[in-house]
Structure 1
Amino acid sequence: MADTYDVIIIGAGPGGYVAAIRAAQLGMKTAVVDREHLGGICLNWGCIPTKALLRSAEIFHYMSHAGDYGLSAQGVSFDIGAVVKRSRGVSGRLNGGVGMLLKKNKVDVIWGEGSIAKAGEVTVKPATKSVEGPPVPAPKGALGPGTYKAKHVIVATGARPRALPGIEPDRKLIWTYFEAMVPKEMPKSLLVMGSGAIGIEFASFYRTMGAEVTVVEVMPQILPVEDAEIAAMARKRFEKQGIKILTSAKVTKVEKGANDVTATIETDKGTQQITADKLISAVGVVGNVEGLGLEALGVKMERGVVATDGLGRTNVPGIYAIGDVAGPPMLAHKAEHEGVICVETIAGMHAHPMDKGMIPGCTYCHPQVASVGLTEAKAKEQGLSVKVGRFPFAGNGKAIALGEPEGMVKTIFDAETGKLLGAHMIGAEVTELIQGYVVAMNLETTEEELMHTVFPHPTLSEMMHESVLDAYGRVIHT
């Protein structure tokens, strides 16, 4: 039957479309259901378009500091409409690319809102919700609403911005990342609530483009999941750029004016009020678990996300979950890899659960921040004896030549075994460098093997080598 599949995936984000392609590669008849955009939040309203915005900000920064490089640029300015248009164009191009990949792999696209009526059966209704405006038209060739059967159903519905009571986004004065990506005009002042990757990236973008920015973080340090030493360096750099930062602080009340918001903020030093043109709420995301029929089927939930066994399987046979809806870390690359593991499990292959301790995290602010594995504090909390190496960007020839001498590479090893426990970086292009340590950790590389690895010169990657050497008292260039 045309409406019967081996696998149906609800959600065409990074996890969903990658799972669909892998299932098709393995010979399974596959369909993916979505209601508004192929590629999901990451491609359309997250990872990709924000990087396009940040690239524009980076170029603007270099143009504004042309004199630092012996160059001259007069009357440097920007058109925020053109900046946004470029960002949306990048997303649009990649959205089309996902559609082509699905077609190439003979994956059917079913357009609408999917739910699981019972194990093995997916009901698709017309789409009623969209990020922007009316429902998005179905892609050419997509199947429509109806009932579809599948031996295996994978839930990959992603997540949405968390809203705090009394500070709900209104899309005019209180923004989520959706509105922050498409400003019609540049705000003169901005209050960012939350200093995780989303909050810090927007703070960095808007500050570089000239807005007065204040970041409020409830935890004692910004970038709470990062190593404390790296986060402290980041804070100094951000404050040097003019970003105001309040930690151990909480927004308790927001009053809206005609064209601005006034936030009441409680800190350990007392209460203060800050008025800004816009407020960006970046206090995390919540899984899209509603309206799928999961509760009626008895699918187990944990902390607002679907509980799985590490291979994507839920407690109900034939129903699986991957990506943000299956819990943290809520990252696109985690979702993609999880999708492959889940599908290979369905195919009877010997898939292995993902080691979440080896999933890298990247924040594309200026300076960039990247990490993998345990922080120094976490390693010590686990009772491990550690050796820690550090190497500054100021000691690297390529960094100095680039005009980027501020930053650091930090590595953490088990003192007894030489196992690489974690790596943490801040500085230019560290989001590209971090994968070297990720590969090393997956290969169970020891400190000795890293010390005997030849790194090319002159490169930023040499700092990775020097940091390892420093952990064992053998650093050369400091």
Structure 2
Amino acid sequence: MSKYDIIVLGSGPGGYVTAIRASQLGFKTAVVEKENLGGVCLNWGCIPTKALLKSAEVFDYLKHAEDYGLKLEKADKDFGAVVKRSRDVASGMSKGVQFLMKKNKIDVLEGYGKLKKGKKIEVKGKNDKTKEYQADHIIVATGARSKELPNLKQDGKKVIGYREAMTLEKQPKSMIVVGSGAIGSEFAHFYNAMGTEVTIVEFLPNLVPLEDEEVSKQFERSFKKAGIKVMTNSSVESLDTSGKGVKAKVKTKKGEETLEADVVLSAVGIKTNIENIGLEDIGVKTEKDKVLVNDYYKTNVDGIYAIGDIVHGPALAHVASAEGILCVEKIKGMKVEPLDYGNIPACTYATPEIASVGMTEKQAKEAGYDLKVGKFPFSASGKAKAAGKSEGFVKVIFDAKYGEWLGCHMIGAGVTDMIAEAVVARKLETTGHEVLKAVHPHPTMSEAVMEAVAAAYDEVIHI
């Protein structure tokens, strides 16, 4: 039986990053993967969706070439080629992870892994051949998949999840997207930009319901302006797939409405992959579809750890990576601090983009803070106007007493690349005055952060 210091079960952005950091720290490391290195994020999530969204952005530019003084006879798209480009990008990135495994001398154990007592993993590979491996430490990073609701059973053809949504052979003429979180919103934008008639159905009162209310309202206005039909305070009660397309019965505040579409995309959340991997067999405690762990991701069973989507916390790629690094550094005996889940950035890559970190204005008020709130619209930004992307704003929230940066909320072009300023500043406990006095380059989108802070402190220049 092969013996390792650390075996990581799953090779997503939590698993493969964990394995690399473990190898860097001198541990003999292996990673178990049943499908493709890089997991859902790299192969079926974060990366290929961004490739699709880039195609949508370029197509939109072509359709509006005249706005930039350019002439184009006709802008058209090849939907199959758009999908192929996305798959090629994902494939290339997966090969990159293969290279990283070799570079860091990490063994890749191909097959389905299952935990066994005695700090062992049984890996069932090709032809159902099984082999057991042992390790001093086993880190479970099996991720999650698209959640299925009883009234939204996915058949992979008419009722689909995110995997099918990014590999459809033919572009649907109409689509109903159920759920307006990051996944639902990004696909709603992509298909609408490609020319599909899109309706988005959200159970809660606002789109992207976890975001600041002002951001949600701006996002809804933008979606409606783009031609997406928005139905909030609404729920899909049942689906009829017996005909050519799908008929969806939607319950609204005004009553029941029947929608028809070629395809329904279910984006109602995720289900963790914690079943059938041996957790129960070895006595690992779980609660509400999550593995219970301490601040350094150790379970109740000695030598067994869990990170990523399967533990409590935001189900985000960068969170899984950070948790995995922290976990192995703690195993190594390094001096580390628990992850600050209050300073995790969240991003939605639709058009307009959304990025946020920290408290919303409502949360800060409910926490009892006396606030200074500043907002700067991109309509007053020279760079945004020049780029033809003046939609949206930056909103900042400070504690009036001590100047602590409580929250930052952005909606507009490229804001997912801007939010890191707020994350780092909050990590360093920077005050509003310090941000204000840090000179930002002009003309840039990022100077809107400084301007928003100036607005909070009644020193704004450009509005």
Instruction: Check whether TM > 0.5.
Output: yes
Q: Deviations over 1:33-69 (max 9, x none)?
A: 0100100000000000000000000000000000000
Give unpaired runs (5+ residues) of structure 2. none
CA distance in 2, matches of 1:156, 1:396: 43
Choose which of 196, 213, 218 in structure 2 pairs with 1:228: 213
CA distance in 2, matches of 1:168, 1:358: 35
Aligned partners of 1:35 and 1:127 also within 8 Å: no
CA distance in 1, matches of 2:447, 2:249: 46
CA offset at residue 439 of structure 1? 0.7
4+ residue runs over 2 A deviation: none
1:66-145 paired onto structure 2 within 5 Å: 66-126=65-125, 145=130
One-letter amino acid of the structure 2 residue matched with residue 126 of structure 1:
G
Q: Which residue matches 2:247?
A: 262
Q: Which residue matches 1:149?
A: 134
Q: Which residue matches 1:23?
A: 22
Question: Is 1:52 matched with 2:37?
Answer: no
Q: Deviations over 1:332-379 (max 9, x none)?
A: 000011110000011111121111111101111011111011111111
Q: Which residue matches 1:424?
A: 409
Question: Is 1:64 matched with 2:63?
Answer: yes
CA offset at residue 127 of structure 1? 6.0
Identity of aligned residues (%): 52
Q: Which residue matches 1:343?
A: 328
CA offset at residue 382 of structure 1? 1.2
CA distance in 2, matches of 1:73, 1:218: 41
Choose which of 345, 368, 377 in structure 2 pairs with 1:392: 377
TM-score normalised by L of structure 1: 0.95
One-letter amino acid of the structure 2 residue matched with residue 254 of structure 1:
L
Q: Which residue matches 1:199?
A: 184
Aligned to 1:22, what secondary structure does the other structure show? Answer: helix
Question: Is 1:364 matched with 2:349?
Answer: yes
One-letter amino acid of the structure 2 residue matched with residue 149 of structure 1:
Q
Choose which of 300, 303, 307 in structure 1 pairs with 2:288: 303
CA offset at residue 166 of structure 1? 2.9
CA offset at residue 126 of structure 1? 2.4
Aligned partners of 1:194 and 1:218 also within 8 Å: yes
Question: Is 1:433 matched with 2:432?
Answer: no
CA distance in 1, matches of 2:126, 2:330: 31
Q: Which residue matches 1:245?
A: 230
Question: Is 1:164 matched with 2:149?
Answer: yes
CA offset at residue 257 of structure 1? 3.2
One-letter amino acid of the structure 1 residue matched with residue 124 of structure 2:
K
CA offset at residue 120 of structure 1? 1.2
Q: Which residue matches 1:10?
A: 9
CA offset at residue 125 of structure 1? 1.1
One-letter amino acid of the structure 2 residue matched with residue 93 of structure 1:
G
CA distance in 2, matches of 1:145, 1:419: 55
Aligned partners of 1:9 and 1:20 also within 8 Å: yes
One-letter amino acid of the structure 2 residue matched with residue 309 of structure 1:
N
CA distance in 2, matches of 1:114, 1:86: 31
Q: CA RMSD in A?
A: 1.2
CA distance in 2, matches of 1:357, 1:71: 45
Q: Which residue matches 1:175?
A: 160
Aligned to 1:17, what secondary structure does the other structure show? Answer: helix
One-letter amino acid of the structure 1 residue matched with residue 436 of structure 2:
M
Number of equivalent positions: 463
Give unpaired runs (5+ residues) of structure 1. 129-134, 136-143
CA distance in 2, matches of 1:226, 1:441: 18
CA offset at residue 310 of structure 1? 2.1
Aligned to 1:369, what secondary structure does the other structure show? Answer: strand
Q: Which residue matches 1:132?
A: none
